[in-house]
């Protein structure tokens, strides 16, 4: 250890690809990133400008769009640089900042998805009490707690990363700085890091998934009891969109951070990471907006006013 070289700069290998795929991959991910920005920022603008959308459901949706912009910018911009440069050098401090930003945004999204499920439960199962249950103040509290939870979760993992020393290699086989690829090149025993990852990441995911499943199970039971086909169809449409987004987001996360670390496979990790860092942020505006008549109506009204 005394004679080992302690690396302070890393090289992100990014997605392994042949040279002839460099330009097509860059164009594809650039198009995805620009679509993510337009879709999510457009949704935020729409919600801010339309007073009819100033209700808890759209407050949550607007913050989800903001977090998607944050998450995508944290990961995709560096990945685009990796593709252009083939091997992108990142300093230790930049790596820690990127990891911190990633954990905050990914964790906050988990909490916001759980809050959205609770909001739909209150709206559909307790319609008469909904204005009392989901007040503006309570909505703000849930959003603040979501972001605070994201920051606290990031601080925990960041503090345990600083105990690691890196002398095995300076090459991170990933397209962004994440805890598992970093522990693989550490010459310090990462057992405590894996334990913290399993405890905190696992607990957050289990809590949010259980909240979502309970909320939508109660919603489903309430819908089946209703005789109104129109109301049931509207509720199914809204909740179906939420469940689709949740399934696409949590599936890869559970595989990445809850199963034993010994079974991690580098290339497979990167494929799963693409889903919740690149694909989900571009899909969420489509999933929530195209199936929402109120958002579509507000968009048409705004376009008519501008034209």
Q: DSSP for the chain, please give it.
A: -TTS----EEEE--S---GGGHHHHHHHHHHHHHHHHHHHHHHHHHHHH-GGG-SHHHHHHHHHHHHHHHHHHHHHHHHHHHHHHSSEEEEHHHHHHHHHHHHHHHHHHHHHHHHHHHHHHHHHHSTTTHHHHS-HHHHHHHHHHHHHHHHHHHHHHHHHHTT----S-SEESSSS--HHHHHHT-SS--HHHHHHIIIIIHHHHHHHHHHHHHHHHHHHHHHHH---HHHHHHHHHHHHHHHHHHHHHHHHHHHHHTS-GGG--HHHHHHHHHIIIIIHHHHHHHHHHTT-HHHHHHHHHHHHHH-
Whether the per-residue pLDDT at 87 is higher than 50: the answer is yes
Q: Give bridge partners of residue 88 from the DSSP assignment.
A: 12
Whether the per-residue pLDDT at 51 is higher than 70: the answer is yes
pLDDT over 90, % of the chain: 35
pLDDT tens string 118-164? 998 998 888 899 999 999 899 999 999 999 999 999 999 999 998 88
- Residue 154's pLDDT is 96
Domain count, the chain: 1
Whether the per-residue pLDDT at 7 is higher than 50: the answer is yes
Per the document, the length of the chain is 307
Q: Regarding predicted confidence, which is higher, 267 or 12? A: 12
Is residue 279 in a domain? yes
Structure-block tokens of residue 276: 């919740």
Q: Which domain holds residue 37?
A: 9-306
Contact (Cβ atoms closer than 8 angstroms) between residue 93 and residue 62: no
- Residue 98's pLDDT is 94
Q: DSSP for 110-169, please give it.
A: HHHHHHHHHHHHHHHHSTTTHHHHS-HHHHHHHHHHHHHHHHHHHHHHHHHHTT----S-
Is residue 3 in a domain? no
Is residue 136 in a domain? yes
Whether the per-residue pLDDT at 4 is higher than 70: the answer is no
Is residue 89 in a domain? yes
Is residue 225 in a domain? yes
Whether the per-residue pLDDT at 304 is higher than 90: the answer is no
Whether the per-residue pLDDT at 235 is higher than 70: the answer is no
Is residue 1 in a domain? no
Q: Give bridge partners of residue 89 from the DSSP assignment.
A: 11
Residues 195-213: what's their mean pLDDT? 90
Give the confidence band of 2 by pLDDT, cuts at 50, 70, 90.
Answer: very low
Structure-block tokens of residue 67: 């977090």
Cα–Cα distance, 178 to 98 (Å, whole number):
8
Please measure the distance between the N-terminal and C-terminal CA atoms of the chain and give it in whole angstroms.
68
Is residue 2 in a domain? no
Burial class (CB in 10 A: 0-12, 13-18, 19+), 264: middle
Buried-state track 30-41, b at ≥16 Cβ within 10 A, e below 16: eebbebbbebbe
Highest mean pLDDT among 37-41, 231-235, 258-262, 271-275: 37-41
Is residue 106 in a domain? yes
Residue 264, CB-side half-sphere exposure with 13 Å CA sphere = 22
Please give the distance of CA 145 from its chain centroid, rounded to a whole number. 16
Largest CA distance in the chain: 75
CATH number for the domain that contains residue 269: 1.20.1070.10
């Amino acid at each position: 250890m005394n004679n080992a070289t302690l690396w302070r700069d890393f090289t992100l290998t990014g997605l392994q690809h042949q040279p002839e795929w460099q330009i097509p991959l860059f164009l594809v991910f650039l198009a995805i990133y620009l679509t993510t920005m337009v879709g999510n920022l457009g949704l935020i603008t729409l919600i801010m400008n339309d007073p009819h959308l100033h209700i808890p459901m759209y407050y949550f949706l607007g913050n989800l769009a903001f977090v998607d912009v944050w998450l995508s910018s944290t990961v995709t911009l560096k990945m685009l640089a990796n593709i252009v440069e083939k091997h992108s050098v990142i300093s230790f401090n930049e790596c820690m900042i990127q990891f911190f930003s990633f954990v905050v945004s990914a964790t906050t999204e988990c909490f916001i998805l759980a809050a959205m499920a609770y909001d739909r439960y209150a709206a559909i199962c307790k319609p008469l009490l909904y204005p009392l249950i989901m007040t503006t103040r309570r909505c703000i509290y849930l959003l603040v707690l979501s972001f605070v939870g994201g920051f606290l979760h990031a601080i925990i993992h960041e503090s345990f990363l600083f105990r690691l020393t890196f002398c095995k290699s300076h090459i991170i086989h990933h397209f962004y700085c994440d805890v598992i690829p970093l522990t693989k090149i550490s010459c310090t025993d990462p057992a405590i890091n894996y334990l913290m990852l399993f405890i905190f990441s696992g607990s957050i995911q289990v809590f949010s998934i259980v909240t979502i499943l309970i909320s939508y199970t109660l919603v489903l039971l309430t819908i089946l009891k209703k005789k109104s086909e129109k109301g049931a169809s509207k509720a199914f449409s809204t909740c179906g969109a939420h469940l689709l987004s949740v399934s696409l987001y949590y599936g890869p996360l559970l595989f990445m951070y809850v199963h034993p670390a010994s079974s991690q496979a580098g290339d497979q990790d990167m494929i799963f990471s693409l889903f919740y860092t690149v694909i989900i942020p571009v899909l969420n505006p489509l999933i929530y907006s195209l199936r929402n008549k109120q958002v579509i109506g507000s968009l048409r009204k705004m376009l008519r006013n501008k034209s």
